[in-house]
Amino acid sequence: MTETAPTPLAAALDSVGDRWTLLLIEALLDGPRRFGDLQESLGGIAPNVLTQRLRRLEGEGLVLAQPYSERPRRFVYELTASGHELAGALRLLADWGARHREGGEPPRHDACGTPVEARWWCSTCERPVGDDETADLHYA
């Protein structure tokens, strides 16, 4: 039996699809944080689980651990450029979550109050890619 290559979504979920990981990335979007700060902002996460997630994200190249104390050895954690690229995906998931909660609404543009929406955009054609065209998207 021949195994097929994982889809792009499956590959992404292998990196960030477990419990706590996206919340951890969200917490780091505001800037570098220490372990205790992360544990506090992710109320309910066990220290060993937080350690595992941080090590995995570091191994994936999404988080950078910088030592700030040698004795005891302590680190400050921050997102790499690749980790910051997940901000858009997190916004989309948060928007979906907000709209699917009872009484939830999409985010609104501060300047005019209109709900904002995400759209695919082709930088070569300089036009939006419609929903009817997304089936034709391919990943090289």
User: How do residues 37-58 score in pLDDT, each as one tens digit?
Assistant: 999 999 889 999 999 999 999 9
Going from the C-alpha of 67 to that of each of 53, 81, 105, 123, 125, the distances in angstroms are: 17, 19, 41, 40, 45
Q: What is the pTM of this model?
A: 0.79
- Contact by Cβ (8 Å): 3, 52: no
**Topology (CATH level 3) of domain 1-111:** Arc Repressor Mutant, subunit A (1.10.10)
Q: What is the pLDDT along the chain (140 residues), one digit of tens a residue?
A: 567 778 888 888 888 888 899 999 999 999 999 999 999 999 889 999 999 999 999 999 999 999 999 899 899 999 999 999 999 899 888 888 887 887 777 788 999 999 888 778 889 999 988 878 876 677 76
| Dihedral pair phi/psi, residue 120, rounded to 5° | -75, 145
Which bin fits 61, alpha (ψ -120 to 50), beta or left (φ > 0)?
left
Residue with tokens 């021949």: 2
